[in-house]
Amino acid sequence: MSPTSDPGQPPPPAAIDQPPPDAPRPVETLLGIENVVKHFPIKRGIFFKRQIGSVQAVEGVSLEVRRGETLGLVGETGCGKSTLARCITRLHPLTSGRIVFDGVDLSDLSPRQMRPYRRRMQMIFQDPYGSLNPRRRVGSIIGDPLTIHGVAEGPERKRRVQELMEIVGLNPEHYNRFPSEFSGGQRQRIGVARALALRPSLVVCDEPVSALDVSVQAQIINLLEDLQGEFGLTYVFIAHDLAVVEHVSDRVAVMYLGKVVELAETAELFGSPRHPYTAALLSASMIADPEKARSAHRVVLYGDVPSPINPPSGCRFHTRCPKAQPICSVEEPPLEVKPGDPAGHVAACHFPVQPGETLVGATPAFSEALSSLAVTSPEAGRESAG
């Protein structure tokens, strides 16, 4: 991936194990995310607003989503996962880059031109409370897509809505209820039914279970998996719960500060992570077996995620990386296959984690040394004292 994004230019196929984008698109690629950049301007001034900076939420992400697969997207809060999801569904305009859906470039379509593609590309939202209009009945919420796209009207619409409610495990008799009369899990089922109403091929799930009880999470995940089999859906599944992502995903992309740092098949990524950030992320997830948990090694990262307004130079992770070297703050590592890895496993790191290597968390002294190179949060120093 190129460190600077030149808008308009089709990017080099970085994270790609497929033919280049110029060739006729292979059928199995449903969604191409090509060097997508999303900056939110920060403006100041009352009358003459000038831009004083920008939040670089997504900084040149390239991914391919294959038909029928589930691509997991993990990363810390604020790493740009949700922004990327909204870029895919065109809820946010892109700063630059392309979203190619089934061979069609969506990035420059007008809202009117976009409508036929909206039918085939739906979204499930994180908050089952905020994402359902509290003043509308469930029947009309689920039936809305049918009305808007002129698919069904009147009794036919009602029949299809009730069918959808049954598919997602809701009582069709509750057609006339309001969202407030349902529990969190049921509400998320309503959201799923709405997303399925138009029989989409791609569903972008933006942390669909993170607001739910653990017991309910499993229900919703199983529902999503069943539906995938039944309707041949392709998922982009965003989460910060690694166990959930490991369970549902075929492939997993790890994001850090707006960039994809590693991408691999699920088992490959969880088995032998190459990027130190992935390794730290994995070691931080809880292990159910206490025996294993005792012997497990945790990689402790110091400091906070740097601000996306002013991201670190070079590799964005170098301020917190236990393996960082001087070159990391200067040169951005490309996202590429590391020696010894299968073709689909790419990582962006100058010094990838070797199999069997134990990562030692960056020592506070090391962090201090690094702070001369870049911004380090004050927490690192405090933790060294304690």
Partner 1 sequence: MSLAPVEIPTQVLEPAAPEDGQGGGRAIQGRSPLRLALARLRTDRMAWVAAGMIVLMALLAIVAPLISAATGHSAYNPDLVNGTNSFGQPYGPGQAGFLLGTDNLGRDILVRVAYGARISLLVGVLATLLATIGGTVIGLVSGYFGGWIDALLARLMDAVLSFPYVLAAIVIASVFGGSLSLTIGVIAFFSWAAIGRIVRGQTLSQKEKEYVEAARSIGAAPFRIMFVDILPNLIAPVLVLGTLLVPVAIVFEATLDYLGVGVGPPIPTWGNMLADDQGSAGFGAWWFWVFPSVALLITTLGFNLLGDSVRDALDPRTERIFAMRRKGGAASGGPNGTAPDDSASVAEPAPS
**Which chain residues interact with partner 1 by CB under 8 A?**
86, 89, 91, 111, 114-115, 118-119, 122-123, 125-127, 129-138, 144-145, 148-149, 173-174, 176-178, 180-181, 191, 194, 197-198
In the sheet that holds 96-101, the strands lie side by side as 50-66, 29-44, 96-101, 104-105
Whole-number Å distance between alpha carbons of 30 and 69 = 10
CB of 138 to partner 1, least distance (A): 8
The smaller minimum CB distance to partner 1, of residues 193 and 321, is found at 193
The smaller minimum CB distance to partner 1, of residues 204 and 252, is found at 204
The smaller minimum CB distance to partner 1, of residues 142 and 328, is found at 142
CB of 117 to partner 1, least distance (A): 9
The smaller minimum CB distance to partner 1, of residues 32 and 200, is found at 200
CB of 144 to partner 1, least distance (A): 6
The smaller minimum CB distance to partner 1, of residues 137 and 338, is found at 137
39, 5 contact by CB (below 8 A): no
Q: Mapping DSSP to helix (H, G, I), strand (E, B) and coil, where does residue 235 land?
A: strand
The smaller minimum CB distance to partner 1, of residues 178 and 270, is found at 178
Whole-number Å distance between alpha carbons of 248 and 235 = 9
CB of 42 to partner 1, least distance (A): 17
286, 293 contact by CB (below 8 A): yes
CB of 43 to partner 1, least distance (A): 12
CB of 351 to partner 1, least distance (A): 40
Query: Nearest 5°: CA angle at 291, between 285 and 296?
Result: 45
Give the pair of three-digit tokens for residue 158.
């009602």
Tell me the CA end-to-end span of the chain in Å, nearest whole number.
Answer: 40
The smaller minimum CB distance to partner 1, of residues 70 and 126, is found at 126
131, 209 contact by CB (below 8 A): no
CB of 135 to partner 1, least distance (A): 4
CA torsion, ordered 171, 173, 175, 180, to nearest 10 deg? -70
254 closest CA partner among 107, 381, 84, 116: 84
